[in-house]
Chains A and B, each alone.
Chain A
């Protein structure tokens, strides 16, 4: 079976004249694995220097207020550089500037996102801009799972998250028929662990969620038609999480 969880990452170079925004981008970048933040710089010249030094990210994230040089000139100069591959260009712009900002789309930019965005929206836009369609689906599964488990106050440091993530990538994106044994085997493949270890890890998450996020757990119970306050089996937990993720993705 093809492993759907081989994570495709996207490399990106960010440029925003606001230093605070650059720091936030670097910190957020260090706490996630999907987008590799090559650099977050504050001037157009720094972007050109980095590209000329040989680094070629998949996505350039450029703010419309960038100076030295401004965005129009920067896009023009990017077109003259000899790069191994043309990076995709995502523009970040102020609200209410649609008319003036959208002209950059005819000058070489590929997509645009308006402020105020939050970091998960920005990184999702970068990933969507630079990754394949399949990778984008997997990205959304990972992010929804992250959101669901964080809402239920699951402590990621307790471990087991990666196995659950692998299982949900299979159940949310693959065929709808599955049995627990097959899923544990799938998550264990290539990880030098036994399927039993995966089963214990999922059981540990199951127990932890029941205590840390009782409201969220009740919602999971409802998804598999069990009364609130019930205890879900591992397979029921997987089914209910899969259903929530599929719904959020509109599948």
Chain B
């Protein structure tokens, strides 16, 4: 029988709600689910012209839901601030392999929303780079940086993992406003810049802080560039349990794809 005391059960219940982000996800899930159901129904059952008009309206609702979901999620991450780093435990992660999959996924998702750009990875580590990190934060950080680059007009992004445990980010866009770089490196927010947006860069800084990655200026002749100094602590790969957990890897890949899709679709879409 259930051996949990009422208090323990209550505590577990609140853990299962997933806090602010969980509540937002639950509401967006119902909204999107209802739109999906109506879409499927209209596709198959409705006569013209109700079908076309209805499907157009539902498609528009889906786009708005995706945009709101991204905004709400970003706002929640900003509101949580330092709490962000405690949401999920940092787990051992081989960064080069993770980024290789992320780059391929980012290219596909950019192409899918008609913003073809190359997202390349250079591995200068000579054997990979192990660290402890929450992969959701890594995905969020890079999704924001890449969508910023593409929105600014870049069509090439290059990520480099170096042997001295740094991640370099470069694009071939017009380069960043110095105030924007200050937001990222120093956390100094310029009011004029805030009026133009800049929440993406604040997010990147927040994610980097939660990961323990220190943003630094990176000189570049053209385009936008930033370096992240990664934590020195390196889990020993020989002591990790590296059982082939294909289910959880599949799930991690699906989560990464969803993050990219939502970010690019919502940030690069013009309504």
Which A residues contact B (CB, under 8 angstroms)? 18, 20-21, 23-25, 27-28, 30-32, 64-65, 69-70, 72-73, 76, 93-101, 111-112, 114-120, 122, 150, 153, 155-157
Contacts and interface: CB of A to CB of B under 8 A. Distances in A.
Interface stretch (B28-36, B191-199, B212-220, B224-232): B28-36
Interface in B97-147: none
A86 to B, nearest CB: 19
B38 interface: yes
Given A76-B2, A156-B44, A21 B33 contact: yes
Interface of B: 1-2, 4, 9, 12-13, 15-19, 21-22, 25-26, 28-30, 32-34, 36-38, 40-41, 43-45, 47-48, 51-52, 69, 87-89, 247, 251, 255
A119 B40 contact: yes
Given A73-B2, A115-B29, A24 B34 contact: yes
B18 A94 contact: yes
23 contacts: A18-B26, A23-B37, A24-B30, A24-B37, A25-B37, A27-B38, A27-B41, A31-B40, A31-B44, A32-B40, A65-B16, A72-B4, A72-B12, A73-B1, A93-B16, A94-B25, A97-B16, A99-B89, A115-B29, A116-B28, A118-B33, A120-B36, A122-B33
B69 A116 contact: yes
Given A20-B30, A156-B44, A27 B37 contact: yes
Nearest to A92: B29
Given A18-B30, A24-B30, A117-B29, A97 B36 contact: no
Nearest to A93: B16
Contact of A23 (B2, B4, B34, B51): B34
A97 B22 contact: yes
A119 B41 contact: no
Nearest to B36: A119
